[in-house]
Amino acid sequence: MRFVVLERGASADDGGLADRAARCGVTVLAREVVRPSETATTVLRRLALDRPSDEHDGPLAGVLLLDAPDLDAVLDVLPPTDTGAFEVRPVAG
């Protein structure tokens, strides 16, 4: 079974995740740390907003991991929707 886990707060190191995963029979498919919240762009009803998303934007629905030349390409590729929102952040590093 595949799971998505969202990390919140400051979590630069993985706290020995790999070791525990091996012991527990879990495979970490990917772990990405994102840049701080001031780099977040929230796309709401086709508008790009200068903020992270919050609970008013709707409950968590999914995760996309994209490789794109820049933010504009990401904004272009997101599905146009009148409900829900997308928070976009570059991966740190």
The stretch among 1-9, 15-23, 41-49, 55-63 that binds other proteins (CB under 8 A) is 41-49
Minimal distance, residue 21 CB to other proteins, in Å:
27
Q: Which of 51, 55, 50, 49 is nearest to 84 (CA)?
A: 55
Sites for other proteins among residues 64-83 (CB under 8 A): 68-72, 74-75
Contact call for residue 13 and other proteins (CB under 8 A): no
What letter represents residue 10's amino acid?
A: A
Q: In whole angstroms, how far apart are CA 58 and each of 8, 13, 54, 69, 75?
A: 17, 29, 8, 28, 19
CA 81 to CA 44: how far, in whole Å?
8
Contact call for residue 41 and other proteins (CB under 8 A): yes
Nearer to other proteins, 22 or 92 (CB): 92
Contact call for residue 34 and other proteins (CB under 8 A): no
